[in-house]
Amino acid sequence: MKKPFIHALIIAALSAALSTPAFAMDTPKPEPKDPDKKDVQLEQARAAIAREDWTGAQSLLRDIVVRQPQNADAHNLYAYSMRKGPAPQMDLVFRHYNEALRIDPQHRAAREYLGEAYLMTGNVAKAKDLLAELDRLCKAGCVEQAELKRSISNFERQHAAK
């Protein structure tokens, strides 16, 4: 009697986790106690990313980075939207991921995405260094660690075939 219930819970949890990849892009923060303090522009940028509106997200995030230069999530999401958009300027992508990590050295999403950016430039060694850092940060495992490991594996498999 308990097994079907447990299986249903596991399936529901997996479905929820797999159906919302756009929200794994940054380190979630607790909801502010005062809803008026919530950064509406950052929420709009996250929504633009979820729609894959890279240009719209970049515009919003560029403004946030100027207004809040110490916001690690804004730097991370700005770099992410540039990397995913057409013709990414990788020097800017690297600059903003590194700024996110300077501000918040524990920012797991920035480490994952910086590793994926290195893969875009063919630098597997740097991506593996970032995976090793995630291994240290995520002793019990985390989504960012698993995703970067998968990205490295896919990259190596694709390039081994050539």
pLDDT at 26: 56
Name the pLDDT band for 21 (thresholds 50, 70, 90).
Answer: very low
pLDDT at 7: 45
pLDDT at 14: 38
The per-residue DSSP string of 21-72 comes to GGGGSS---PPPSSGGGS-HHHHHHHHHHHTT-HHHHHHHHHHHHHH-TT-H
Q: Report long-range pairs for 140-145 (Cβ below 8 Å, ≥24 apart).
A: 142/108, 143/17, 143/24, 144/24, 144/108, 144/109, 144/111, 144/112, 145/108, 145/112
Burial 113-151 (b: 16+ CB within 10 A, else e): bbbbbbbeeeeeebbbebbebbeeeeeeebebbebbbeb
What value does the mean pLDDT take over residues 89-93?
Answer: 97
For residue 44, what are the contacts with CB-CB under 8 A and spacing of at least 6? 60
* pLDDT one-digit tens code per residue, 24-78: 455 544 444 444 456 899 999 999 999 999 999 999 999 999 999 999 999 999 9
